[in-house]
């Protein structure tokens, strides 16, 4: 437990967990212990656990590969490893929210553990084209007013009133929020 760091992944009996936060505690009486906040890699659930300082836990080695999204084939997304040119099909269930921001020829970092995909890293923000939204009305400049917009990926998000169909916008991939016009 003395070698743990934030971001490290552990292989526990309940599954794979990433360390979000930890704190070493040395009380005046008794043995030292470590309080941890762990996030389940597969379903995103966050749990708090306490471990003795002398306890041993197995670290999971997560392999990260940069892959390029080629095309969507039915319900599957086809990726190509940029180093070996091997192709891999991934379902939207495995990719999660990343499907809202992926367009053809985009790169993503695919995280695998024992050949099982456990996560996808996207850039912090992506530029996407607004496929459909209500037209902005001249003089309609109410502060903070929003309207729904459908992006080229099919994802719907709230944008300011001045954004029109065909505009390129920047979207935060972590929160799914509009950032600015590109």
In terms of domains, do 88 and 42 share one? Answer: no
Other CB atoms within 10 Å distance of the CB of residue 155: 17
Classify residue 138: in a domain, yes or no: yes
Three-state secondary structure call for residue 161: coil
pLDDT at 139: 63
Classify residue 100: in a domain, yes or no: yes
Q: Write the CB contacts of 83 (distance below 8 Å, at least 6 apart in sequence).
A: 65, 66
- Mean pLDDT, all residues of the chain: 87
In terms of domains, do 25 and 70 share one? Answer: no
In terms of domains, do 117 and 87 share one? Answer: yes
Other CB atoms within 10 Å distance of the CB of residue 139: 6
Centroid of chain to Cα 81: 19
pLDDT tens across 112-158, in order?
A: 888 888 888 888 899 999 999 888 666 666 667 888 999 998 999 99
pLDDT at 117: 87
pLDDT at 55: 85
Classify residue 57: in a domain, yes or no: no
In terms of domains, do 23 and 67 share one? Answer: no
Could you tell me if residue 7 is left (phi over 0), alpha (psi between -120 and 50 degrees) or otherwise beta?
left
The residue-averaged pLDDT of 84-111 equals: 89
CATH number, domain of 34, equals 2.30.30.30
Three-state secondary structure call for residue 137: coil
The last residue of one of the domains, among 121, 142, 163, is 121
pLDDT at 142: 64
In terms of domains, do 68 and 18 share one? Answer: no
pLDDT tens across 23-37, in order?
A: 988 888 888 899 999
pLDDT tens across 63-87, in order?
A: 999 999 999 888 899 999 988 989 9
Total structural domains within the chain: 3
For residues 38 and 17, the answer to whether their CB atoms sit within 8 Å is yes
Classify residue 3: in a domain, yes or no: no
In terms of domains, do 36 and 73 share one? Answer: no
CATH number, domain of 112, equals 2.40.50.140
Q: Measure Cα distances from 53 to 8, 16, 25, 57 in Å.
A: 17, 20, 9, 11
Residue 160, pLDDT above cutoff 90 = no
In terms of domains, do 115 and 129 share one? Answer: no
- Predicted TM-score (pTM) of the model is 0.74
**Domain of 23, in residue numbers:** 9-52
Beta bridge partners of 181: 169
Classify residue 96: in a domain, yes or no: yes
pLDDT at 181: 86
Helices of type H across the chain: 92-95
pLDDT at 161: 85
Classify residue 4: in a domain, yes or no: no
Phi, psi of 99 (to 5 degrees): -65, -20
pLDDT at 93: 84
pLDDT at 57: 87
Classify residue 108: in a domain, yes or no: yes
The last residue of one of the domains, among 121, 138, 157, is 121
Classify residue 58: in a domain, yes or no: no
In terms of domains, do 131 and 176 share one? Answer: yes
In terms of domains, do 133 and 114 share one? Answer: no
């Amino acid at each position: 437990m003395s070698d743990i760091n934030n971001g490290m992944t552990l292989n526990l009996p309940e599954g794979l967990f990433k360390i979000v936060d930890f704190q070493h505690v040395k009380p005046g009486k008794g043995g030292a212990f470590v309080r941890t906040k762990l996030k389940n890699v597969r379903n995103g659930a966050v749990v708090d656990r306490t471990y003795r300082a002398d306890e041993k836990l197995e670290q999971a080695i997560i392999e990260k590969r940069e892959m390029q999204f080629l095309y969507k084939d039915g319900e599957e997304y086809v990726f190509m490893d940029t180093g070996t040119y091997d192709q891999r099909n991934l379902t939207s269930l495995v990719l999660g929210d990343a499907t809202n921001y992926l367009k053809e020829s985009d790169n993503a970092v695919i995280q695998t553990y024992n050949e099982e995909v456990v996560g996808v890293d996207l850039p912090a923000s992506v530029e996407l084209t607004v496929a459909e939204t209500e037209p902005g009305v001249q003089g309609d400049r109410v502060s903070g007013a929003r309207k729904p917009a459908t992006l080229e990926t099919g994802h719907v998000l709230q944008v300011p009133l001045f954004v029109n169909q065909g505009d390129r916008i920047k979207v935060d991939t972590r929160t799914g929020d509009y950032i600015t016009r590109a």
